Amino acid sequence: MLEKSFGLLYFLKNSGNESKKFIYLRITVDGHPVELSTKKQWWENRWDKEKCRASGVREDARDVNFFLDTLENKVFKARQKLIEEEELITAEILRDMLAGRDGRKMILELFAQHNADMEALIDTDYAGGTHRCFQTTYEHAKSFIQWQYHAEDMSIRKLNHFFIDRFSFWLKTVRKCNHNTTMKYLANFKKIVLICVKNKWLAADPFPDFELTRKEVIRHPLTQWELDKIAGKNFNNERLRNVRDVFVFSCYTGLAYADVAKLTRPEIITGVDGEQWIVTERQKTDTSCAIPLLPVALQLLERYASHPKCMNQAKVLPILSNQKMNAYLKEIADLCDITKVLTFHLARHTFATTVTLSNGVPIETVAKMLGHTTLRQTQHYAKILHGKIGMDMAPLREKYVVTTPEPESVLELECPEMTLEPVKPVAALPKYNYVLVSS
């Protein structure tokens, strides 16, 4: 990226020695100067301020001038290199290149270092799933750079709106990601970009003109009839029975996959009402949630109390990986003749909508059980069903019942005969001529 203005200037600077002074080089790019010492000293009375060189024809003057010419040529070569590579030219970058520090940070190199730091902080500041998501974003960025730029890596200073726009295009076309998944990967990538901006490795954020908005996904929770059908289905396959039971347990507790997977017996306690409660912290947000156990959930816990896998791992339910759970849930949906796309996370929506809100549980209580800090988060899960709307409107319907009067009770009003006179036409309004007068 070619700069608007560029200048070099040698000058003397006090060194504490009255006889000699240090020779400094000032590099100015677009009006912004930086200075660096040449490590050379010279006499002020033997310095030509107009030529910015040592004056005279002595051998020591020729040696110093040759050194200054060589250093100046290095600056021009560094500038030419940046122009050829179409990179940003700044005085700081040229100074670093002269000092042997290229100053160029590479995208994938920084991304890999970020992911390594994140991996070291798993279970301290980050969850393992978060690290895996960033690692997937890194792999996508690596493949995109090879596809678009035919390079193994590239300088962070080449990041611009074009890069972000093409990365989005690549994710949607080559990787076949949907819109929201694409936005998720770009949001992860933006974190790396902001690290570069904050450390002043990147002059500007390339994301301001790129919208990372996500489209709202309408998820239809299971109805009570569909939930009962799944819970009451007799499966001959033990694998499907286990998957179904864990899913139904989540439908009646609202726990996400990660929270069910880590749930242990000590987290099931006797609550203030004398009943069994789950008191745990959500893995995703570390927020506390307290959930009174409904009879169906209690029955499932008792069923797996002596299960070998639960006893060996000190867990309450035998749960598989999230990927396998979702694959088997689709098989269960087919066997139960349910056309909805069955995923484990749908259980959380079903708890919020079908099990709680549709049965009159206040949304504030639902938010607490789901471990949400704001009602806005809960509203994303709690979609009001038509049945709940009908129940809420029933009292209002009774209030506005319309009664049809009997024919004999209709009053006949006698009105005097009226004669209508023709309406006189309104006289036409006078016409005016308007003249525009300039003041």
Mean pLDDT across the stretch 267-288? Answer: 86
What residues does each domain of the chain span?
6-98, 107-198, 224-390
What is the per-residue pLDDT for 326?
Answer: 93
Structure tokens at 415: 């009105």
- pLDDT tens track for 229-249: 999 999 988 999 999 999 999
Segment 136-177, tens digit of pLDDT: 999 999 999 999 999 898 888 788 899 999 999 999 999 999
Supply the pLDDT for residue 435: 47
pLDDT for 202 = 78
Residues 95-120 have a mean pLDDT of 84
pLDDT tens readout for residues 337-395: 999 989 999 999 999 889 998 888 888 888 889 888 788 778 776 666 666 677 778 88
- In CATH, what class is 224-390? mainly alpha
Tens digits of residue pLDDT in 395-417: 887 888 766 666 555 455 455 55
